[in-house]
Structure 1
Amino acid sequence: MKTSKDLFLIPKLLMITAGTWELELVGSSELKKKFYKVYSIIMFVAYHTSHVSFSIKFIELLGGDSIEKVVESASMIIIVFLLAIKMALCRRKQMTEVLDNAIKKKNTLLNDENGFSQKIYSGYFRYALIINISLTAWSFFVGLFLTVGGSFDYFKPSKDLTLNYTVKELKPLHVLLWYPFDQEEYYGLVIFYEFFSILFSDLYNSCLQSLLNTMMIQIAADLKILQYNFRSVGSGKETAYEDFKRCAKRYQEVIVHTTELNKALRYTLLIEYVVSSIMLASILVQILSGKKAIFNTFYFGILAFQWCLLAWNANEIKQQSEKLAMSIYESNWYEHTKPTNQLAFITVLRTRRPLYLTIGPFGEMSINTAISTLKLAYSYVSIMS
């Protein structure tokens, strides 16, 4: 019995919606594939025009007197450009090949007869579904809060009590973008583009986070299933060696896949680490100073949550790989033949080097990494205070 649950369901849907899905659309006609290609190009161009608009606006503000707006504009430029860089790194051929390999082999460890492997896989599937939906919903909520939350004041006139008549103020903007036309005259178009650029940034972020987390969760699930398979190797002289050999081969495939994933993600994780450290600190300073306190609190929450979640899932890979040796010990190894035990001994020696993902060249990604990021943000706030 094999499970039909697709671990990559949410990442695939998000990436197709954003036009960033690089793999073949299985089951689609040639016309649909061509249409999606055109759609992907249009969405790419439409979104990346905001980078030009952000940059021009930043240059304009440099000649003004508002340092606060210059800092706000600079932070927005950093966010959108780094988000685009991270997405570009995840769309490279190397990452696309790793993703394609992961999707094709997602059921290779689900062949046991009693269905226990399917039960493990289903548990990780539910976990992936919950965190991906939660991250996406929270990310879009923050974007909607920024664009819609203040829209009630857009068309509200202010009352000048000294003159005793109503004065129409300039309509406020929540995103510092440059437009080649009068913003007051075409205010509807301005609001639409604000809405589009912010929510598409949320979509990009959701694509990235769901993809990274799901890739890590799949490896952890594979290792968990391998533990069960090693533990369940039969004691029969004829079948034990072949069963153990098959498990060892699958373990080697997981090692290769994890190594390739690490090569594809290490610089993406490095950027995520640096950006998270800076953004968490700067947003915390803004919260303490009372600037957009409600929005910044939600924004701080999503940044901290998604970074800690990445660290947790990366740490899970290491934890599950370290448990493989114990699962082999818990099998009926004392009833196996000498060749089987020799193979078991070699496999145990390999498990002494646990699998893990790295943050560029700066060490492994783990729970301690997330904690150090939060400590760094706290230290920065303490100094600024």
Structure 2
Amino acid sequence: MFKVAKILMITGGIWKLKMTKSNLLQFIYAVYSGVVQVLYASGPVSLLISLFYLFQTDIAKAIENISRLIVVSLQVLKILLCQSEGVVRLFSRAVREQVDVYRHRDGVVRKVYQDHVKYCKWTTAPVAVLFLICGLSQSGIGIWTNFNFEQLQRQSNETLELPLAVPFWYPFDKNKHHLLALLFQVFQSQFTSFYCAGTQAYYNSIFIFVRAQLKILQYNFRNFDDRSEANRQISEDFTLTALKKLCEKHQELIRSVEELNDSLKSIMLLEYSVASVLLAALLFQVMANIGVEFNIYVFFILSCQLMAMAWNCNEIIIQSTGLASALYESRWYQHSQQVKVIVHLMLVRCQKPLNLTIGPFGPMTANDGVSRLKLAYSFVSVMSS
């Protein structure tokens, strides 16, 4: 389930779990990780400085650079948050629990999980590919710009100004060291796509894993007394023990989701808050006839990213409330009073759904994703009128 996220995060240098037993290779990766993250973090600084010059010369490009600055700054914050101790601990636990599920002796449990693995690949991989294509296109534009610049330099005796696809500020003369400027631009474009795709796959994989755990728990709730039904000699104590274990598993899952929410609510707030600004900025540039094809493409990717996160968060709410129905569908009424009391208490707890919140603004649902698209459209409609 975490394969797509792992590949992208290893490439981007933000994978925190141990990858190899070799201390040397682990050290080399740690050095690589530190270098690329420091270089990438210089991007927002360079974009911010360039804004001061662009506002004096080209307002249209300045507006375009603001959206880039927001995207890159958001990725830096998401990288820092996804490497926090709480998130890494949760992800590590999910990876370990995944192994236990694959080894489960119940074929239905394994099938439920494998179905979610396929679902995870089909929801994270396409968005990741779209982000990578976006990065490659930006890199291609930069390389093509450099090729044309070298051709013009050879044909002209004058010192030409290097036209870059993204107007970064450089602490050196970009016309004399245009290859270095180009490499920095390609690096920023490519690693922005890696980080956007990697963090999106990272968080959605965790959300889908929680959903899979809830579906498996529903199956176990519905069939908690299957063994006692198959073998009448098994005592009521066995059923009571099995039910208590499921209750403990439910409580453990509740604590995990609460811990996950505490770790990710800042990221959810960032995504939710910045999404409207970015989507509105992209639509505004399209209406102003600035990079129409590219901005429409980025708008589509960001919309898919926002809706995927909102949908998966909404699924956690739905599947957690489905636990009550699954437990009620079991044969609880055929058992002792003690079993009925435990079932009743579990049913009461299942009435409170598990959710992931947008900071202090309540749970994230599918409606919140749609509302961001509506807000962006409303903003552009008001500005255009």
Deviation at 1:122, TM superposition (A): 0.3
Distance 1:20 1:274 in 2: 24
Q: Deviations along 1:43-65, whole A, 9 cap, x unmatched?
A: 12222222332232223334x23
Contact conserved, 1:146 with 1:295, CA < 8 A, in 2?
no
| More deviation, 276-285/13-22 | 13-22
Distance 1:361 1:21 in 2: 29
Distance 1:13 1:351 in 2: 36
Deviation at 1:184, TM superposition (A): 2.8
Distance 1:61 1:383 in 2: 25
User: Is 1:52 matched with 2:45?
Assistant: yes
What amino acid is the match of 1:9? K
Deviation at 1:146, TM superposition (A): 2.5
TM-score by length of 2: 0.90
User: Is 1:183 matched with 2:183?
Assistant: no
Q: Deviations along 1:319-370, whole A, 9 cap, x unmatched?
A: 1001111111111112122211111111110000000100000011000111
Q: Which residue of 2 aligns with 1:360?
A: 359
What amino acid is the match of 1:357? L
- Matching of residues 22-171 of structure 1 within 5 Å: 22-25=16-19, 27-62=20-55, 64-108=56-100, 113-149=105-141, 151-152=143-144, 155-156=147-148, 170-171=161-162
Distance 2:104 2:201 in 1: 28
Contact conserved, 1:155 with 1:171, CA < 8 A, in 2?
no
- Structure (1/2) with the larger helix percentage: 2
Distance 1:290 1:365 in 2: 34
| More deviation, 261-270/9-18 | 9-18
Q: Deviations along 1:152-180, whole A, 9 cap, x unmatched?
A: 465458xxxxxxx9999744211111123
For structure 2, the residue ranges without an aligned partner over 5 or more in a row are: 150-154, 229-235
Q: Which residue of 2 aligns with 1:198?
A: 189
Q: Which residue of 2 aligns with 1:296?
A: 295
Contact conserved, 2:268 with 2:359, CA < 8 A, in 1?
yes
What amino acid is the match of 2:27? K
TM-score by length of 1: 0.90
Deviation at 1:314, TM superposition (A): 0.3
Find runs of 4+ consecutive structure 1 residues off by over 4 angstroms.
107-112, 149-157, 165-171
Q: Deviations along 1:189-245, whole A, 9 cap, x unmatched?
A: 222211111111111111211111011001000000001111111262242212211
Contact conserved, 1:111 with 1:117, CA < 8 A, in 2?
no
Q: Which residue of 2 aligns with 1:161?
A: none
Distance 1:80 1:250 in 2: 40
> What is the identity percentage for the equivalent residue pairs of Structure 1 and Structure 2?
34
| More deviation, 290-299/330-339 | 330-339
For structure 1, the residue ranges without an aligned partner over 5 or more in a row are: 1-6, 158-164
Distance 2:371 2:250 in 1: 31
Distance 1:17 1:58 in 2: 30
Distance 2:92 2:104 in 1: 24
Contact conserved, 1:145 with 1:295, CA < 8 A, in 2?
no
Distance 1:153 1:252 in 2: 58
RMSD in angstroms over aligned alpha carbons? Answer: 2.4
